[in-house]
């Protein structure tokens, strides 16, 4: 059981809403994501390594555009063992609501929503 005074990112980890490969197009991503400011698709290779991300607001109007044309390459990621307090502070300062969580070799493990992390920190002694 983790030390309650040392919360880490892995405690706030949730499954990624949606992940797609480089063969995806805007229409396929639009069909899978729910509209919203926090909606995000992690773009991964065949080994699950994060290559990029697409936020709902980044989707182009047309459905045929390949994801490589509009994804954000090399998005910021964190590891499960990262201290939650400083991470939340950086997310607040940068206005970031969601960040991808990966293994040390870059494989997608899930997402961390700042609201969830803040709740965990509030509940700790």
Whole-angstrom distance, CA of residue 119 vs CA of residue 108: 23
Query: According to the model, what pLDDT value does residue 5 have?
Result: 59
Read off the pLDDT of residues 96-120 as tens digits, 9 standing for 90 and up: 999 999 999 999 999 999 999 999 9
Read off the pLDDT of residues 7-16 as tens digits, 9 standing for 90 and up: 999 999 999 8
Whole-angstrom distance, CA of residue 78 vs CA of residue 73: 15
Query: According to the model, what pLDDT value does residue 38 have?
Result: 74
Whole-angstrom distance, CA of residue 62 vs CA of residue 70: 12
CA torsion 38→43→46→49, rounded to 10°?
-80
DSSP at 34: P
Mean pLDDT of 35-48: 89
Structural domains of the chain ordered from first start = 9-123 (3.10.580.10)
**Of residues 18 and 4, which shows the higher confidence score?**
18
Is the model's pLDDT at 2 over the cut of 70?
no
Confidence category of residue 17, pLDDT binned at 50, 70, 90: confident
- What rounded mean pLDDT belongs to the chain? 92
């Amino acid at each position: 059981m983790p030390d309650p005074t040392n919360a880490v990112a892995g405690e706030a980890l949730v499954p990624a809403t949606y992940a797609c490969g480089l063969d995806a197009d805007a229409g396929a991503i639009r069909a899978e994501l729910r509209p919203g400011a926090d909606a995000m698709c992690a773009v991964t290779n065949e080994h699950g390594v994060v290559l990029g991300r697409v936020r709902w607001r980044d989707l182009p109007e047309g459905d045929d555009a390949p994801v490589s044309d509009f994804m954000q390459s090399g998005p910021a990621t964190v590891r499960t063992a990262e201290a939650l307090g400083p991470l939340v502070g950086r997310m607040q300062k940068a206005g970031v609501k969601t960040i991808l969580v990966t293994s040390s070799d870059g494989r997608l493990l899930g997402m961390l929503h700042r609201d969830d992390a803040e709740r965990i920190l509030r509940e700790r002694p």
